[in-house]
Chain A
Amino acid sequence: MTAEAPPPPGPWRQALRGLLRNRAAMVAFAVLALITLSCALAPLYARDIARTDPFTSNVAGSILLGRHEVDIMQPNDNPLHLGLSPIGPTGHAAYLLGADSQGRDVAARLLYGGRNSLLIAACAAVLCLLLAAAAGIAAGFFGGLVDVILSRLMDIMWAVPVYLFAISLSIVTVSQGLKLGPFVVEADSLLIPIVIIALVYVPYAARPIRGRVLALRQAEFVTAARCLGVPRWRIVLFDILPNVTTTLVVLGPLLMALSLLAESALSFLSIGVQAPAASWGTIIQDGEGLIYTRPMVAIAPGLAIVLVVLALNILGDGLRDALDVRDSARRSS
């Protein structure tokens, strides 16, 4: 092995090799890819397989199950058969997981909701990483006043429970959108939850990055670069940043998992994704009223969240092992 590869593999390639050997991480990656793909194909599913429109109320409608025409709203199960409840899981292509209180296909909505949930989580994670990297590097490398200001700001953000913080911001923006100078964000835009979630988790991500940068700043190769008169921006760009990237990469999936959970919580409180758009959180909220009669409406999106977050966490663990971040963090502390 050593004989056939004269130039030793770079750290990234080595990490990739380690990751590929990690069976759990590969399974998690496959699950993520599968879920993402099926969510991406949501319109196809709704049109060609379920043959429903998951965004219009269909309380009076009926569907064809096998050869029987069945009402979507069924008489209740209670002894007097008072009231109506939506149809439960059918076991057929149409309304596979049943209907929600407005008679919409839960399975199709699940796929559509997944698109929004995954999109928000991924974008929020990336945005959060960018912000945290900027803040962490600035605080860690430049120190002094910058560090003091940023650290105090983070202290303030720490002192409020994350979800409360996110909820406050959401309530303010959801009612009338966001106007930042020339930029106007509509109240029902997905950008709002993305920005809010990213912002809320910045202190969590910035802290390890700052620690890493502080350690790097003391490192001899940085001292050497300084002694050589390398300008500061060059040190940040070429000496600090590449060494922080491993931390960022490891944080990525974990932040995405956190973002997904936060998004679902906000949507559950109806201050995240706004109707008529769906996300896994909003579907759980739709299912709240039906929890005792048609539990599948709330259980299915919850399971989807659990599956994705679990996969992301496993992938994050795999990345950390492959990149050996914990080890270096321990040494630097």
Chain B
Amino acid sequence: MMIALLRRLGQTVFVLFGISALVFLVFFATPGADPTARIAGRNASPQTMEKVRQEYGFDRPLPVQYATMMKKLFITQDLASYVDRGELVVPEIARAAPVTVSLVCGAAVIWVVLSIAMGTLAAALKGTWTDRSLMMLGLVGISMPVFWLGQVANLITQSRYHDTWLFSWVPGLGYVPLTENPWGWFKALVIPWIVLAVMFIGIYSRVLRADLVALSGEDFMRTARAKGLSPTRILLRHGLRTSMITFVSLFGLDFAQLVGGGALLTEVVFGLPGVGRLTYQALTNLDLPLIMATVMYSAVFVVLANAVVDVLYLFLDPRVRDAR
């Protein structure tokens, strides 16, 4: 148990180190990304350049620079942006994170509920038209680029049908903090939630249906039928419960990637100042401290989510419980 835990910890640290080193190398080794020129401003004199270089430590060897940056990011937490001088990076992420978390959590609720309903219904009615149309609907959902869907949603709710009773409640683009105005928060996020959830509803309902259909051929499902249980109970208590093992592991990864910044296209289209958009801005500005910070934030989330999924696994699958 202890060894497994330590192993896990080691892996986590390794992954985090690997990512940070990779990002650092890519953005420092890239010609033209030299931060000195950016900080010093255009047409800066060689003296200024030299001064900046010394002040920021760009003249020191790369490993030292890397270590300094990591120390500033994790320990002293006073890493500052190169682009907006003085802007501290960690608080910036702390401001963006609630937006992303709000967006992703709401979408996750929608997609989990709807995909379970759709997948189970389709599996129960396997081979019927309901099944076929639900699965085709899911496939269409998977096939839509999320930023395009967002635009179309904006077109409908902000412009074309905004004046009808149906969408007159939709506020303009942007984010309203939950603590400020819960109802406004809800109204501002409903459309982004749905848009972000559409693709995942498609994926998850299809995966769940396939899993349930495959399970229905298993021996234990036949046993359950021979026991005289009702079809509903067999499907839900035996089939769906067993399918949850796959479902949860998938969900953990996707959820973490989204919270870690994977929802940036949705954030961009709906003007939500979340982590994804922040990362995107940092990347376009080649603002190395912010890039480093956002990528590390994202990686930490993914690694954390993996750990949570593993714990959930223990609850969901007794076989795994004994394997460790």
Contact = CB atoms under 8 A, between A and B. Distances in A.
Given A160-B299, A161-B261, A172-B27, A152 B18 contact: yes
B15 A168 contact: no
B151 A306 contact: no
A158 B301 CA distance: 11
Contact of B139 (A169, A264, A287, A314): A314
A313 B202 CA distance: 12
A52 to B, nearest CB: 24
Interface string A138-164: 000000000000001101101111111
Contacts of B26: 168-169, 172
A255 B232 CA distance: 36
Contact of A171 (B214, B257, B283, B299): B283
A291 B210 contact: no
A305 B298 contact: no
A159 B27 CA distance: 18
A176 interface: yes
Interface stretch (A37-45, A224-232, A292-300): A292-300
Interface stretch (B42-50, B64-72, B142-150): B142-150
A295 B14 CA distance: 48
A305 B30 CA distance: 33
A68 interface: no
Contacts of B298: 159-161, 164
Contacts of A313: 139, 142-143
Contact of A326 (B214, B260, B286): B214
Interface residues of B, number: 52
Interface in B258-277: 258, 260-262, 264-265, 268, 276
Given A160-B295, A161-B257, A162-B262, A261 B145 contact: yes
Given A268-B147, A292-B155, A309 B142 contact: yes
Contacts of B16: 159
A175 interface: yes
A160 B148 CA distance: 23
Given A168-B291, A176-B31, A161 B258 contact: yes
A66 to B, nearest CB: 28
A158 B11 CA distance: 13
The interface residues of chain B, by DSSP majority, are classed as: helix
Contacts of B11: 152, 155
B147, B158, B159, B264, most chain A CB atoms within 10 A: B147
A298 B18 contact: no
Interface in B184-219: 210, 214
Contacts of A164: 260-262, 264, 276, 279, 295, 298
B152 A299 contact: yes
B303 interface: yes
Interface in A249-288: 257, 261, 264-265, 268-269, 281, 284, 287-288
B32 A176 contact: yes
A161 B265 CA distance: 12
A261 B143 CA distance: 8
A244 interface: no
A167 interface: yes
Interface string A193-215: 00000000000000000000000
B262 A264 contact: no
A158 B19 contact: no
A190 interface: no
A284 B147 contact: yes
A31 interface: no
B284 interface: yes
Nearest to A317: B139
A167 B155 contact: no
B19 A269 contact: no
Interface string A295-328: 1001100100111011001100000000000100
Nearest to B213: A326
Contact of B145 (A168, A264, A295): A264
Contacts of A265: 145, 147, 265
Contacts of A257: 143
Which 5 pairs, one residue from A and one from B, show the smallest C-beta to C-beta distance?
A: A161-B262, A302-B148, A309-B143, A310-B143, A156-B18
17 contacts: A152-B11, A155-B15, A161-B264, A176-B32, A264-B145, A264-B148, A268-B147, A284-B148, A292-B159, A295-B155, A299-B152, A305-B145, A306-B140, A309-B143, A310-B143, A313-B142, A330-B214
Given A268-B147, A291-B159, 13 more contacts: A152-B11, A152-B18, A156-B19, A158-B302, A159-B298, A159-B299, A161-B257, A163-B262, A167-B280, A257-B143, A268-B145, A291-B155, A306-B140
